[in-house]
Amino acid sequence: MTHKNHKELQEFVASTHNGQQRRNGSQMEHIERVVQNVYNQYNHEDIEGVVTIAYLHDIIEDTDITLRDLYTKYGFGCDIVACVDMLSKPTNLTYKSYIKKMCNHYKKATSERDSDMFRWVLNVKIADLQDNINNKPTIEQLLKYGRAMVRISKTLLNGNKFDNPKPEHIV
């Protein structure tokens, strides 16, 4: 089952998070706000991939669906599944280590393609954090989300070797 359009993707994600609630509404409302935050970040660019990642950003942590399922059963591509994997916090990592790991992947990208994917991951995480900050967080959560936003923003501002190419030597 591949998701060729926005509506199919939205319906798929809604069915997987059916009935899940957060402090200020349903999980699907959170996901829709994250997707809107992504649209707001990217203006009118071609962002089909990053929007797909935004829709799927909580699917591994909040449902029984696995990364293998996303690829084999639901037909999402390797790049999308890899990005969802990076956005899914491993249970053996602290939140701080999880954010650091995402940032390091971007900083150490070895190809322009990887750089783009890792940038998508960081931008979706920013969109997620923006909504979490507006989701009636405790003081501890607000500090945690704020620190993560600062770290990710600094990472994106500093770029990597693909974002800031060095000028060629002029002879």
Question: Domain segments of the chain: what residues?
Answer: 6-158
The model's confidence at residue 76, banded by pLDDT at 50, 70 and 90, is: very high
Tokens of 97: 């280590």
**End-to-end distance of the chain based on CA atoms, in angstroms?**
55
Nearest C-alpha neighbor of 9 from the set 71, 74, 58: 74
pTM of the predicted structure, to 2 decimals: 0.86
Confidence of residue 164 (pLDDT cuts 50, 70, 90): low
Cβ-based neighbours of 81, under 8 Å, separated by 6 or more = 67, 70, 71
Read off the pLDDT of residues 54-75 as tens digits, 9 standing for 90 and up.
Answer: 989 989 988 899 999 999 999 9
Q: Which CATH class is domain 6-158?
A: mainly alpha
